Structure 1
Amino acid sequence: MADRAAVYDLKGLNCPLPVLKAKKRLAGMQPGNRLWLETTDPLAVIDIPAFCFDSGHQLIETAAVSGGHRFLVERGVS
């Protein structure tokens, strides 16, 4: 569940690197597994949800945190 999701630190990276690295990491995961993405890129609030929608992943949760955002993504089937 959410408390067992791995955390992927993408802080300090700017567009498009957070999405590219998240895409690669999620590709190596089993469908249904979850991953927290931690970012500082202001554009991530647009890029990560769009990436999830386009790639068939589910964005479970989005949270603003000090200096950035966290996104809980569930790996899709595709």
Structure 2
Amino acid sequence: MTITKLDLAGLKCPLPALKTRKALKSLAAGDRLEVLCTDPLSVIDIPNLIRETGDKVEITERSDSRIVFLIEKANGPIGGTDRASSMRD
């Protein structure tokens, strides 16, 4: 298990969610992504993204100036299929 840090301070909606989605794609199951945001809308956008991807938000830290999410990468998206095996069938 590895922890990758993603500093998205200063970015506004929708960039934090888009960059978080991109970073999650490169992680293996069980890896964690620590995301630092300053955009207040990220408290809505990031959890919605995680519901879509099927990953899990482990810890959410919130202060006046920043929001930190610790996301655990799941095995894959809910309802996803293995594209390689479906292409062989």
Same fold by TM-score greater than 0.5: yes
User: 1:70 is matched with which residue?
Assistant: 68
Query: What does 1:1-78 correspond to in 2, within 5 Å?
Result: 5-78=3-76
RMSD over equivalenced CA pairs, Å? 1.4
Q: Which has the higher contact order (CA 8 A, sep 6+)?
A: 1
Which ranges in structure 2 are unaligned for 5 or more consecutive residues? 77-89
Percentage identity across paired residues of the two chains: 39
- TM-score scaled by length of structure 2: 0.79
Runs of 4+ in 1 over 2 A off after TM superposition: none
What amino acid does structure 2 have at the position aligned with 1:67? S
Larger Cα-atom Rg: 2
Quick check: which one's strand share is greater? Answer: 1
- Can you give the 5+ residue segments of structure 1 that lack an aligned partner in the other structure? none
